[in-house]
Amino acid sequence: MMCNYRAVIEYDGTGYSGFQIQVSRPTIQGELERALQRITQETVRVTGAGRTDAGVHARGQVISFRTAWTHGCAALQRAMNAVLPRDVCVVDVSEATGRFHARFSALRRTYVYSIYEGHVRSPLLERYAQHVAGPLDVEAMARSAGYLEGEHDFAAFGQPPIGENTVRVVHRARWHTRCLAEEPDQCAQPTRLLQFEIEANAFLRGMVRRIAGTLLLVGTGRLSESGFAELLSSREISRAGAPVSACGLCLWCVRYDDEGECSGRDGRNHL
């Protein structure tokens, strides 16, 4: 008897050509399906909540799949983690209702884009964050991000994965900053970590990276706050900033219940 399973996945996407399976290229979906076939001796098709692009990471990706596995969720999680590559981890496995679908049942998705600001680049940081020499006007970037909240046509920032609808609802768009110095007195010339958090019902292809790139124009003074608002309403993608690097983008969590917690090791928590 086939059972529908739901699992939360964390991965470093650096060495992968995205989530969705591709011929002759390493993908997260491919690794997951390969692991499940080895464990269950079945051909198992995995569906993800978000089709992350090449080089993009995930802290709370959600997948669903059906299998006749009969040894329980804990054993399935252990078995998958034993055979998966070290840069992919199953954080949680649970049985789901027959109607649950990782993609179509999702109500909201949260992405986080990370930037580190400092005079000198850091090899230890730039695997997961884009380097900007700075200084950046984070307050102006935060005010501009406020224009994104609500229902808008986001054609200026991306293309629809299917069809022509470019209208999305952004529930939250904000910046978080913290100093990475070990001691407070080292913050005279600090390395700052800036994280752009955006939660929406769905996203266009390339939307978050292009928004982050355009907000960087605001932060460096090359685009005004009112100019950002006008660009959003223009629907002209040619006017947006260049997409930032994939290395800084992470699918943070997926929400399936407006009153419940997001996926991930410990819910949303603080960034």
Among residues 12, 53, 185, 258, which one is catalytic? 53
CATH number at residue 132: 3.30.70.660
Q: What was the pLDDT predicted at 269?
A: 47
Q: With contact defined as beta carbons under 8 Å apart, do 214 and 193 qualify?
A: no
Report the alpha-carbon distance of residue 198 to residue 101 in Å, rounded.
22
Find how far residue 100's CA is from the centre of its chain. 21
**Same domain flag for 140 and 183:** yes
Q: Are residues 114 and 40 in the same domain?
A: no
pTM > 0.75: yes
> Residue 59 falls within a domain, yes or no?
yes
| Domain contains 151 | yes
- 222 belongs to a structural domain: yes
Which residues span the domain enclosing 195?
Answer: 108-255
Give me the amino acid identity at 126.
E
Query: What is the count of structural domains for the chain?
Result: 2
pLDDT score of 266: 60
Q: Ramachandran region of residue 37, left (φ > 0), alpha (ψ -120 to 50) or beta?
A: alpha
158 and 52, same structural domain? no
Strand, helix or coil for residue 35: helix
> Do residues 74 and 179 share a domain?
no
Q: What is the reported pLDDT for 183?
A: 54
In 3-state terms, what secondary structure has residue 153?
strand
Under-70 pLDDT residues of the chain: 181-190, 258-261, 265-271
As separate numbers, helices (DSSP H) first and strands (DSSP E) second, the chain gives 5, 10
pLDDT for the residue 181 = 62
**Last residue of a domain, which of 47, 66, 95?**
95
Tokens encoding 153:
């046509």
| Catalytic annotation present for 87 | no
Residue 61 lies in a domain: yes
Do 145 and 48 fall within a single domain?
no
Q: Is 201 inside any structural domain?
A: yes
pLDDT of residue 191: 82
Q: Is 122 found in the same domain as 75?
A: no
Residue 256 near residue 64 (C-beta atoms within 8 A): no
Q: What is the predicted pLDDT for the residue at 168?
A: 98
